[in-house]
Structure 1
């Protein structure tokens, strides 16, 4: 059996499938977290949170980390509050790293995020990550409902630095201290799908996670820019001494080729419904009509790096993708709408010690 050559992590989109309730979807997420935690080998004896082959690596073997992404006003995604999900999954697990992939910082004050993830870091020491994105994670109406302004995204670099200061416990001009938060040094990751995030991560000396699971167009250029312009963080608190790239992609793994093909098509249908109608109740026939036109080409572009097939075929594809993306770590999102195939994919691809 082939192995994946780089550390592997999971992105749980907390999707609410057709006919599922939010409660049922979150129960699946809990089961996923418990399984992923079970794949992690015993933690390093020093429990320092600094071993292994990448940022925040406290254990060897199994899935490295499990992240949740902030999305709003989407009936098929139940991860609007990633900090709450991390808190619940932290209580149900013992070893796997947990975090946001990511928090859409323009939706929040840096102080509030420092307090939330500082609290999580105190509850689950050496296990919490904080990925930060610049997009609002929803539409304009949602941005307004959150009492935010689109211009807030322009303050993203400043807000990242302010957040970093709160987590380090650096004195602020305001005199405000994040409690909990100060001194926790929660590891920060810059998320992105464009050159902007790559430049910021390089400038701040932070790890960079590229959203190639839905926006792959700039992958090669962004990673090359990040690696060429990277400068080590002035301090090691939350930073790294060498560039570190996480590349995300979607996967379906099963021994039945026809089942994989059906699941991939059904996944394309669901994306078409969500992207172009924001409604999973659209008929399959209407979704197929969308996929037959320009919408289908857009969906297929989003899935450019999707790895599907038997488990060995998927692992081979993931190794090729990691090399192509110059990735130090892969972040996998199980793509199958069928829950048995969704969970079975995660089981089949679990790294072995």
Structure 2
């Protein structure tokens, strides 16, 4: 079992995006020391709490300050971009940091409707996602699908591609293309079992991937003190309640806890259904159970604590399993 890290450069209360971005390097270094396989950065737009919008820029910075851990996007929302531009960006990263760069691809906008328009895309942009993946793959594999157009850098770099998803669509596409599949069960767990079953059942072997490869995501909070870990978990739930349920309203922690215990709060709790919380030993046991449940080849762990120092502590406390 491999552990990897999902980082969105979360902006904690009383922090700035600059603070969050500077925190990406220590977190990646901790993952490297703990034996994690890779660190991925997620593309989101117009979200004050997330600073990882320019994934390729963050990857370049972190790669220059780490030694060997793989780095990538988890993911680039491809309908927001030209496949050629993404091939050039990640081809550049692969040229500068050989053997260390991944490219996870999603079709969601990573934003709201107004932001979608600001990105110069429409709801129909996602319809071309399968064709865009193939076009991008062609640039990276040195087999361009656009006559006379090659990615420089990028042409022939064979940057590994991963399909991200939280529904059956991504599972079916990854299976049809013979690509690894990463499921976003850390925030959208509803279709996890069905999607993984569909992916494995329909997988078509490809040159690079003779068999299915599953990455399943889970939230994680570890602390030497069990009570502290559960307090961090409750704070994370309150943060999500503020974000999704009571925008613009200033509620106390007690009021937020009551809201979380209501039917309205069930959805927020459900988003974090797959969360390992507790001491390092308890977290490792919970992650092992989750891995057995999903039969995943790799777990993508999302530190869920609000404070940056707590997220760093979590990564330091849960070293990846060794053979």
TM range (shorter): over 0.9
1: CA distance, partners of 2:321 / 2:288: 15
Aligned with residue 231 of structure 1, among 171, 196, 204? 204
1:126 equivalent in structure 2: 99
**Closer, same or farther in 2 for the Cα pair 1:347/1:226, shift >3 Å?**
same
TM-score calculated relative to the size of structure 1: 0.88
Aligned to 2:61, what secondary structure does the other structure show? helix
* 1:333 match: 302
The yes-or-no answer on 1:71 pairing with 2:36 is no
Change (3 A) 1:69 1:179: same
* CA-CA distance at 1:350 after TM superposition: 1.6
| In 1: Cα distance, 2:102 partner to 2:251 partner | 37
Q: How far off its partner does 1:293 sit?
A: 2.8
Return closer, same or farther for 1:280/1:321 CA change in 2, 3 Å cut-off: farther
**Aligned-pair CA distance for 1:282:** 6.0
User: Equivalent of 1:291, from 244, 260, 277?
Assistant: 260
Matching of residue 308 in structure 1 with residue 277 in structure 2: yes
Question: Which residue in 2 is equivalent to 1:99?
Answer: 72
Q: Which residue of 160, 168, 175 corresponds with 1:202?
A: 175
Gaps of 5+ in 2: none
Distance 1:313 1:82, change over 3 A: same
| 1:90 and 2:63 matched | yes
User: 2:30, 2:312 within 8 Å by CA — same for their partners in 1?
Assistant: no
> What is the CA-CA distance between 1:218 and the residue it aligns to?
0.6
> 2:242 maps to which residue?
273
Q: State the partner residue of 1:139.
A: 112
1:286 shift after superposition: 5.4
Which sits farther off after the overlay, 286-295 or 249-258? 286-295
Match of 1:32 among 16, 27, 30: 27
Q: CA deviation at 1:351?
A: 1.9
Deviations 1:114-144 (A, max 9, x none): 1110100001001000000010000001100
Contact 2:185 2:218 in 1 (8 A): yes
Q: Secondary structure at the match of 1:271?
A: helix
Comparing 282-291 and 71-80, the one that deviates more: 282-291
Alpha-carbon offset, residue 200 of structure 1 = 0.4
1:241 corresponds, among 210, 220, 232, to 210
1:95 to 1:283, Cα distance in 2 relative to 1, 3 A: same
Q: Is this contact kept in 1: 2:178–2:205, CA < 8 A?
A: yes
Which position in structure 2 is the counterpart of 1:167? 140
Query: May I ask how many residue pairs the two structures share in their alignment?
Result: 322
Structure 1, unaligned stretches of length 5 or more? 1-5, 40-61
User: Which of 317, 341, 347 lines up with 2:286 in the alignment?
Assistant: 317
1:21 is matched with: 16
Contact 2:260/2:269 (<8 A) preserved: no
Equivalent in the alignment of 1:57: none
Write the distance in 2 (CA, Å) between the matches of 1:330 and 1:170.
32
Secondary structure in structure 1 of the residue aligned to 2:64: helix
Quote the offset at 1:257 in angstroms: 2.0
Q: Give me the whole-angstrom Cα distance separating, in 2, the residues matched to 1:294 and 1:177.
A: 53
Distance 2:66 2:250 in 1: 35
Alignment check: 8 A CA contact 1:270 1:280 kept:
no
Tell me the C-alpha RMSD between the 2 structures: 1.6
